């Protein structure tokens, strides 16, 4: 055995009051004082509403890169809806919504809107959600293939006519995707 020097930093997060737990004998005091070098109090997302659109955009970019999808920006009304939500799941809830948004399109926001209670008030039907997903898949493939119809057909595994029909349906032009 040999002594090895290491340079370690520990970053820990908790909702619990470790000082109180330490005082009550429920958390080791020596560990508390070893960890308590720098303390950052970060308020919950519901108390910093202005951060929501910026964080959402950040998480959308990460998810779009992970799933090789297009990053669809929020419009003002969608951003306002996000800011009205109470975010009981805090940043994790926002991150998960951003992933659903990348995968399912704007329909994912309707699932998150607790004020929407039925189809009449704005929820999308399954058919509409599938259209959003299909459009997103076609756009993503066209982006990845730089507008090449042949490469896009191969990537999506569909016939040329089917691809052209879908592009027409969603108002897409291959020239939009060329570098």
Based on the fold, state whether residues 105 and 144 are members of the same structural domain: no
Do residues 83 and 54 lie in contact, with contact meaning Cβ atoms separated by under 8 Å?
no
Say yes or no to pLDDT of 39 above 50.
yes
Same domain as 101, residue 133: no
* In a shared domain, residues 96 and 145: no
Residue 115's domain comprises 47-121
CATH of the domain at 61: 1.10.8.60
Confidence at 21, pLDDT banded by 50, 70, 90: very high
Q: Is residue 108 domain-shared with residue 133, that is, in the same domain?
A: no
Cα–Cα nearest to 102, from 132, 146, 145, 141? 132
Find the helix or strand (DSSP H, E) in which 142 lies. Answer: helix 126-144
- C-alpha span between 104 and 128 (Å, rounded): 10
Q: Please tell me whether residues 132 and 85 are part of one structural domain.
A: no
Packed helices 90-104 and 126-144: angle between N→C axes, nearest 10 degrees: 80
Specify whether the CB–CB gap between 172 and 145 falls below 8 A.
no
116 pLDDT above the threshold of 80: no
The reply to whether 59 and 96 lie within a common domain is yes
* Averaged pLDDT, 147-172: 92
Task: State residue 118's pLDDT score.
Answer: 33
Give the per-residue pLDDT at 141. 84
0.85 cut: is pTM over it? no
Residues 25 and 55 in one domain: no
For residues 138 and 141, give the distance between their C-alpha atoms in angstroms, rounded to a whole number.
5
Segment 70-85 mean pLDDT:
86
Number of domains the chain is built from? 3
Q: Which residue has the tokens 């704005």?
A: 122
pLDDT digits (tens, 9 = 90+) for 131-142: 877 887 888 788
pLDDT of 122:
46
**Rounded to an integer, what distance in angstroms lies between the CA atom of residue 18 and that of residue 99?**
33
pLDDT at 145 over 60: yes
The tokens for 137 are 């898949």
CA-CA distance, 147 to 139, in Å (whole number)?
Answer: 9
Cα–Cα distance, 19 to 22 (Å, whole number): 5
9 and 59 together in one domain: no
């Amino acid at each position: 055995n040999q002594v090895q020097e290491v340079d370690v930093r520990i970053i820990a997060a908790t909702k619990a009051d470790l000082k109180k737990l330490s005082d009550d004998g429920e958390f080791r005091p020596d560990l508390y004082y070893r960890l308590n070098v720098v303390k950052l109090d970060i308020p919950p997302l519901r108390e910093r509403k202005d951060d929501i659109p910026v964080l959402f955009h950040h998480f959308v970019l990460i998810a779009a890169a992970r799933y090789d999808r297009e990053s669809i920006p929020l419009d003002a009304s969608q951003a306002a809806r996000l800011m009205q939500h109470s975010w009981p799941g805090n940043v994790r809830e926002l991150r998960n919504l951003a992933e659903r948004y990348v995968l399912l399109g704007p329909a994912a926001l309707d699932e998150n809107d607790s004020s929407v209670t039925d189809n009449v008030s704005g929820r999308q039907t399954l058919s509409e959600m599938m259209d959003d997903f299909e459009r997103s898949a076609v756009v993503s493939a066209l982006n990845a293939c730089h507008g090449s119809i042949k490469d896009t057909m191969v990537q999506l595994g569909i016939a040329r006519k089917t691809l052209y029909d879908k592009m027409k349906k969603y108002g897409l032009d291959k020239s939009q995707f060329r570098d």
